[in-house]
Amino acid sequence: MPHVPEVGGNTANLRLHVPIHLRWGDLDAFNHVNNTSMLKLLEEARVRVFWVPESGDTAPSTAVIESGIAAGVLTLIARQEIEYLAPVPYRREPLDIQMWFGKIGGSSIEVCYEVYSPATDTPQTLYARATSVVVMVDARTGRPQRLTDTMREAWSPYLGDPLIYGHRR
């Protein structure tokens, strides 16, 4: 998973590029990737960006969370916002999910995404823009847990302008 610096649409900051494969099963009866499947793709991109990999697997430098019930830490979603810009067809090549962080808080992080058609497309189509607020929670108590210095250091290179949603009220 390469994470190439890039000048994004609304920010001059670094972005992570996470290739995520579609499945034909992500389509619904309208023959488009379903709106909830899109959030499944974002979930998978988050797991790959944030969670410590299994031994021997490669992962980006941001993958520093030991998450899971066994690890005692849950990464919960507090809120999400998503704008669907174009219907997404099935493709064999992985989508190019671009990610950066709009804010690194006390025990939470605001994750921003732009979902593009495969990196092999010229030009690429922007399918969706989204934001998730992820909170670190103690698995036993359910209480928020402070981000560690390791996390802040790993994530700060990807701090950028948060997404602004034009059509919201």
Residues that bind a copy of itself (CB under 8 A): 20-21, 23-25, 27-32, 34-36, 39-40, 43-44, 47-48, 53-54, 56-59, 68-70, 74, 76-84, 87, 90-93, 102-103, 110, 120, 133, 142, 162, 165, 167-169
Q: Give the N- to C-terminal CA distance of the chain in Å, as an integer.
A: 37
In this complex, which beta carbon is closest to a copy of itself, that of residue 80 or of residue 148?
A: 80
Closer to a copy of itself by Cβ: residue 149 or 167: 167
Q: Output the CA angle 123-42-104, nearest 5 degrees.
A: 105
Query: Exposed, middle or buried, 152 (CB in 10 Å: 0-12/13-18/19+)?
Result: middle
- Which of residues 50 and 149 has its CB atom nearest to a copy of itself in the complex? 50
- Look at strands 108-116 and 16-20 and give their pairing: unpaired
- The three-state secondary structure class of 78 is strand
Q: Between 55 and 149, whose beta carbon lies closer to a copy of itself?
A: 55
| Least distance (Å) between residue 61 CB and a copy of itself | 15
